């Protein structure tokens, strides 16, 4: 990585930008009930965005729905849905993810 001048700091800054893009494209100043962003402070979170979906069943459903309907890999822990961001993602990936999550929120509202 050193020969490509990629450092931990560079990776982290890129991930933070991708997360910001995702949240902006999601277009929600306030998330709907039952879909709460856990750590809103970008300086204090890692490379995952975690959302509290209120129940283990909803989080499991969300993870499965994202994979089956939208082709998005995610994971859940307890009642939390986790979406990971990495250096190999690009802005197009993030736009697709935002679109999928908007669809998921609609699915959960049914």
pTM summary value: 0.87
Average pLDDT over residues 73-79: 96
Question: Which three-class secondary structure state does DSSP give residue 52?
Answer: strand
The pLDDT of residue 2:
56
For residue 90, what pLDDT band results from cuts at 50, 70 and 90?
very high
For the chain, what are the domain ranges? 2-109
The pLDDT of residue 110:
61
Span 2-109 CATH architecture = Alpha-Beta Complex (3.90)
**Phi/psi at 63 (nearest 5 deg)?**
-60, -45
For residue 99, what pLDDT band results from cuts at 50, 70 and 90?
very high
- Cβ-proximal residues to 92 (8 Å cutoff; 6+ apart), any chain: none
Residue 103 pLDDT > 90:
yes
Residue 83 pLDDT > 60:
yes
pLDDT tens digits for 22-74? 999 988 666 777 788 888 777 788 899 999 999 999 999 999 999 999 999 99
């Amino acid at each position: 990585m050193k020969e490509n001048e990629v450092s931990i700091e560079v990776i982290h800054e890129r991930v933070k930008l991708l997360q910001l893009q995702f949240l902006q494209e999601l277009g929600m100043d306030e998330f709907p009930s039952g879909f709460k962003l856990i750590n809103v402070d970008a300086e204090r979170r890692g490379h995952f965005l975690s959302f509290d979906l209120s129940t283990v069943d909803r989080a499991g459903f969300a993870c499965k729905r994202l994979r089956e309907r939208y082709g998005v890999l995610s994971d859940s822990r307890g009642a939390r849905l986790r979406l990971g961001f990495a250096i190999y993602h690009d802005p197009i990936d993030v736009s697709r993810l935002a679109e999928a999550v908007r669809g998921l929120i609609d699915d959960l509202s049914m």
